[in-house]
Amino acid sequence: MEYETNNWIWDGMYNHPHVFGGLMLTAALLGLSTSYFGGITVPQLPYLWSDSGIFHKKKCDRKHIRVYMDGCFDLMHYGHANALRQAKALGDELVVGVVSDEEIIANKGPPVLSMEERLALVSGLKWVDQVITNAPYEITEQFMGKLFSEHKIDYIIHGDDPCLLPDGTDAYALAKKAGRYKQIKRTEGVSSTDIVGRILSSLKDTNDGENQTETSLHKTPESQPKSASLSQFLPTSRRIVQFSNGKGPGPNARVVYIDGAFDLFHAGHVEILKNARQLGDFLLVGIHNDETVSEHRGKYPIMHLHERSLSVLGCRYVDEVIIGAPWEVTVDMITTFNISSVVHGTVSEYNFSLTGESDPYSVPKSMGIFKLLESPISITTTSVSQRIITNHDAYMKRNAKKNESEKKYYAQKTYVSGD
Ligand SMILES: *[C@@H]1O[C@H](CO)[C@@H](O)[C@H](O)[C@H]1NC(C)=O
Ligand SMILES: *[C@@H]1O[C@H](CO)[C@@H](O)[C@H](O)[C@H]1NC(C)=O
Ligand SMILES: *[C@@H]1O[C@H](CO)[C@@H](O)[C@H](O)[C@H]1NC(C)=O
Ligand SMILES: *[C@@H]1O[C@H](CO)[C@@H](O)[C@H](O)[C@H]1NC(C)=O
């Protein structure tokens, strides 16, 4: 079974972290993407892959415009997803370069997510056709030549924020000169820097909260940490439409339902969504609103409801989301959406059997349509946050530097139109 095959790959990756070469990564990626391109039930291997850690989709007869965009994709968020969505719209096939851990360390400081985790996130996006692992931080003349000749790239894409090399020159000057450069709009309201800031501030809030609960037991709503409220993101109906598949379940489709907070969307989410999707024909994802998450987890999520919804919608295994799903799966919901199975991962932020709360899945369980899915990897929102908190000082330093340029950007920014 394909599910087990992927499990094995992840197990391999996690049990033997030192053996990852380009080859292992490519194999994992192949497992990640096969079900999407090759069909859920008929696993195929429609790729030719070279030893350089790159895989290719089936050769096409018609000339396709191939566009390339690179990035670190550390703490990937819907801003990255939106950039890649826009890049994809400038061509037929989108090739994404994921910068190596070493290059990120050398240029920005330690990444929060490992190469494999960043790779899982990027290849889980529905707009991405190919991934180049261990891309360089800078597009050198040599790498650009390789992109054009070896990877048949037509255009290199970058956001409209200036990107300067250490010597002060434009990083994309070469591509521009060659007439092979296209630009997209930066996505407003979110950045990895801002997310790190929210996590650090939620830590501060939590500590304050702990101190407070010791002195006074009552908690006022104002004293609750509310990191999501730091967001500058303004969700528009258009953005949600851009991310949506716009299709309901077909006739006789088996609808699978999974719910959760999906905060700080990570590789563990991608994997569980992929496995859930394989149990049916249509994956419906319920996203709990900020208050529901706070009530059951004792803390507001880092990303607010609409941000979390966009991240989930950008995932290729997801067909539809419920923005603000109820905590309990009710008979009415199951009927309304014609849900044929309800699934939940074994690795979860909540454990109601421990807290003594009532089981939100008692209805699907009594109907015999509940399934506990083995979570393929154990990363959680808490463990991602924990990494940032552990490296607190390094990230504070890195953040302070980025903070300045962000502030300048917001101070200077003018009307932004387009996508
Ligand atoms: C908690 O309270 C103690 C004593 O009042 C104080 O020393 C400490 O700094 C506080 N911790 C935080 C995180 O505010
Ligand atoms: C409801 O889902 C089942 C599969 O679980 C499917 O056979 C049936 O056709 C669906 N009903 C409608 C009205 O789509
Ligand atoms: C919750 O905790 C119980 C008791 O420790 C454990 O048996 C169960 O597997 C846990 N469930 C989840 C979903 O983590
Ligand atoms: C970044 O800037 C914001 C407001 O401009 C400030 O509240 C925050 O403390 C700064 N963070 C760092 C790490 O300097």
pLDDT per residue over 64-101, tens digit each?
A: 899 999 998 988 888 899 999 999 999 999 999 999 99
**Closest alpha carbon to 239 in 323, 301, 129:** 323
User: Residue 19 burial (CB < 10 Å; 0-12/13-18/19+)?
Assistant: exposed
Q: Which domains does the chain have, with CATH numbers?
A: 1-50 (no CATH), 60-187 (3.40.50.620), 199-381 (3.40.50.620)
Helix (H), strand (E) at residue 56? strand 55-56
| Ligand 4 nearest-atom number relative to CA 407 | 5
Residue 221 phi/psi, 5-degree rounding, is -55, -35
pLDDT in tens, 126-163: 999 999 998 988 888 899 999 999 999 999 999 876 66
pLDDT of the residue at 384:
87
Supply 96's token pair. Answer: 């994404």
Tens of pLDDT, residue by residue over 383-412, are 888 888 887 777 777 666 666 666 666 666
Residue type at 75 in one-letter notation: L
Report CA(351)–ligand 3 centroid distance (Å): 6
How big is the CA angle at 52 (ends 132 and 72), to the nearest 5 degrees? 30
Q: pLDDT of 3-37, one tens digit each? A: 333 333 333 333 333 333 333 333 334 333 333 33
The predicted structure's pLDDT at residue 352: 66
Rounded to whole angstroms, the Cα distance separating 248 from 109 reads: 43
For residue 252 and ligand 2, the question of a CB distance below 6 A is answered with yes
H or E element, residue 200: helix 192-215
pLDDT value for 415: 56
Structure tokens at 292: 């529901």
Ligand nearest the Cα atom of residue 336: 2
Q: For the chain, give the mean pLDDT.
A: 77
Q: Is the CB of 338 under 6 A from ligand 2?
A: yes
- Tell me which of 220 and 108 has the higher pLDDT: 108
Ligand 4: residue whose CA is nearest its atom 5: 407
Q: How far apart are CA 79 and CA 85, in angstroms?
A: 10
Ligand minimally distant from the alpha carbon of residue 367: 2
Q: In what order do the strands lie in the sheet with 339-345?
A: 320-325, 282-288, 255-260, 339-345, 370-373
What's the pLDDT at 171?
Answer: 77
Nearby residues of 306 by Cβ (< 8 Å), 6 or more positions away? 233, 235, 240, 323
Minimum mean pLDDT among 82-96, 107-121, 165-179, 299-313: which range?
165-179
Higher pLDDT, 234 or 20: 234
Q: Is 354 close to ligand 3, i.e. is its CB under 6 Å away?
A: yes
Nearest CA owner, ligand 3 atom 1: 351
More confident residue, 363 or 105: 363
Q: Tell me how far apart the alpha carbons of residues 50 and 129 are, in angstroms, rounded to a whole number.
A: 16
The confidence score (pLDDT) of residue 106 equals: 83
Which has more pLDDT, 167 or 310?
310
Place of tokens 């965009």: 69
Q: Please work out whether the CB of residue 213 comes within 6 Å of at least one atom of ligand 1.
A: no
User: What is the distance in A from the centroid of ligand 3 to the CA of 346?
Assistant: 8
Task: Kindly list the distances between the CA atom of residue 98 and the CA atoms of 2, 40, 122, 366, in Å, as whole numbers in the listed order.
Answer: 26, 26, 8, 45
User: Among 200-209, 275-284, 297-306, which range has the highest average pLDDT?
Assistant: 275-284
Give distance in angstroms: CA of 316 to centre of ligand 2. 23
